Structure 1
């Protein structure tokens, strides 16, 4: 039954309804949250979506939990507005790959999972902060991505290397991180931090004058080891001007495979190595604390020359010969190495270095 309302009352009712907000008369659909500066994710699918659509200035913040799958970032930040991927140590990336048929030179390809825990490909100006990568073929791979800063990561239990700056990923940083238990499947490729690429791989990874110019990478205040199967830091030929500073190298578990028998192997040019602390104890194969080598490449560089060491403390555990072993002095006559007297050594079978010491 429909009730009649007297004219005066009807006017009052109509006026009152007109004053009400629209939502009171008909509830509206909840607003769509814009893709703002902070994107919160807590599932693998959300993380993949956020990486795929990331924009300069955004922060992708992972909740605690395990994220399984292939996580690839191909979006560029800028110097003024980098993109940040952040999470607590309990936000853990795991990749059960590889799977599918990949290209001869690694590149993100439909139907192929590289097995990398996190892969930045053509993605400059990213900050990677705080989270964990484990149980993957490789840990963090940075390809053709300049100005990537990784801070406070934990990379462990990976089949090959922990963190790789590759394909001319210059001006990067890896600091305040822990890298351990690498090379579980391929010990000879189990470096903690890998800078550049071997000259034999420049056909794939060389995109700057034929070389992999992953130059000026800062490796700072990390703990690398134990059970890093190859070098804690492998500096490849054709790279220039990096700094390896304030790190702790634990050589337990280094395998000696693929000539990996030192904390740091320098084949790059004009590196500064300072303020690091290295130790060795069994198990493992250990020849020297720091080594240089001079591979020939085309184009030609003064590979393995011009390194400066200062304020490094080395304990070779009675197994290693020199704290700093210069493989060839004559090949670096135009760009000599400098070993300062501020470096110290304990329990070496031969001594501090095989070259004259500079005050």
Structure 2
């Protein structure tokens, strides 16, 4: 068939449309949202976090979350971000290690607020935190330019001391930890590191010190050596047998690696604002992780702790917060009390064969959060009355969304227990949305041992908690609807 010349322009135009159309398909892009969650709450403030989630189909490189607080409220401290504040406006940029958010993944940063106001006018990379178009033509996947600041560097320009130190031997790790500087990252290669690793240099809120490595980087320290003081402090020539020890070293982050075959696992002394992230702690003689000597505002999250108490079952706690009042003469560094307050235990897997309590919360500590953890009670030894997942002697804790199970072998009385060794302790705690399977052995999911000792500040157990296979029931007190 012959085609008329008069139709060629039209056909040519149509062909052009068909060729161009495929080129207009959307390219892969990041799409960030930021969700606020309030954790522990106390009379003069609260702790909270933002989860920055990438709902797009390409990795995001860099993020900035900004919001306003009402008059009378301000951010008093923060972690896992670089913060700048101007009046009631607060800006959080990614730290050196968490700027990349893979498609479908999330990163978190936390902060404490002095006051009761909550964030408003929240944006992430200039777009609404809940998602949607940015209020300006700038690309939502590119962080806006930071405001001028005389105290904090731009997140796009690493601080001058933000170097990376790669290590592959125990001697190199010891030297790197001893010589660490704020903003530095110590990066472990796969392998076994046998020795004493003690961090004593403080990091800062804007320049924390990071030790990171893969799960196959394994720190071991099976035996103590030499002699030290009765109240443990770093002492030349003395190895206490700890897998990793922070002493007077706030704002450190330990991430990713394994601690095994040590007398104690990770010990945090006099070191607030420490984050333990995605660690694997196992086959430990005594306790797995201990926040001690007023190591407040710490976080342990996304970690696995099992096989503790291999040397002394009575002292084989998974996570230990604070100190017993009988040890305050040694560890009571805040007015004679160990105030390891506002520690958050989040999304960890604890057990099996944690010989003592999975989490032991000591008297004198307040306002922590125990949320999203999984407790496997197999192997609880029952020594020294250790016969529950959580022994709550602290005050004002939120215990929420945890899942606990028990099956033989082991000794098991109740899922959660409260005790009141000193006046006011073991009171004002709240249980919500926890799921407990007591294996036909435990009596109550939540056993509140006294109400008379908590007059005016009662423990509260909500009906949203669930229990199965209990010989007694959900709780021994009247639950609150909710």
Please confirm whether the aligned pair reaches a TM-score higher than 0.5, indicating the same fold: yes
2:356 aligned with 1:234: no
Counting only pairs closer than 5 Å after superposition, residues 62-211 of structure 1 correspond to structure 2 as: 62-211=188-337
Gaps of 5+ in 1: 1-33
* Cα displacement string for residues 2-24 of structure 1 (whole angstroms, at most 9, x for unaligned residues): xxxxxxxxxxxxxxxxxxxxxxx
Aligned partners of 1:295, 1:36: CA distance in 2, in Å?
Answer: 45
Gaps of 5+ in 2: 1-159
* Cα displacement string for residues 72-107 of structure 1 (whole angstroms, at most 9, x for unaligned residues): 000010001100000000000000320111111011
Aligned partners of 2:222, 2:347: CA distance in 1, in Å?
Answer: 30
Counting only pairs closer than 5 Å after superposition, residues 309-328 of structure 1 correspond to structure 2 as: 309-328=431-450
In the alignment, which of 218, 227, 234 is matched to residue 344 of structure 2?
218
Counterpart residue number, 1:346: 468
2:388 aligned with 1:262: yes
- Contact 2:306/2:350 (8 A) holds in 1: yes
What do you get for the CA RMSD once the two structures are aligned?
Answer: 0.9
Aligned partners of 2:161, 2:285: CA distance in 1, in Å?
Answer: 36
State the Cα distance separating 1:112 from its structure 2 match.
1.0
Match of 1:84, SS state, is strand
Aligned partners of 1:222, 1:40: CA distance in 2, in Å?
Answer: 28
* Cα displacement string for residues 228-270 of structure 1 (whole angstroms, at most 9, x for unaligned residues): 0000000000000000000000000000001100000000110
More strand by share: 2
State the Cα distance separating 1:166 from its structure 2 match.
0.1
Counterpart residue number, 1:333: 455
Counterpart residue number, 1:3: none
Aligned partners of 1:95, 1:176: CA distance in 2, in Å?
Answer: 23
State the Cα distance separating 1:36 from its structure 2 match.
5.5
Runs (4 or more) in structure 1 with deviation over 3 Å come to none
* Cα displacement string for residues 95-150 of structure 1 (whole angstroms, at most 9, x for unaligned residues): 03201111110111111110000000000000110000000000000000000000
* Cα displacement string for residues 284-335 of structure 1 (whole angstroms, at most 9, x for unaligned residues): 0000000000002xxxx51000010000000000000000000001111111
Higher RCO, 1 vs 2 (CA within 8 Å, ≥6 residues apart): 1
Counterpart residue number, 1:23: none
Aligned partners of 1:49, 1:138: CA distance in 2, in Å?
Answer: 21
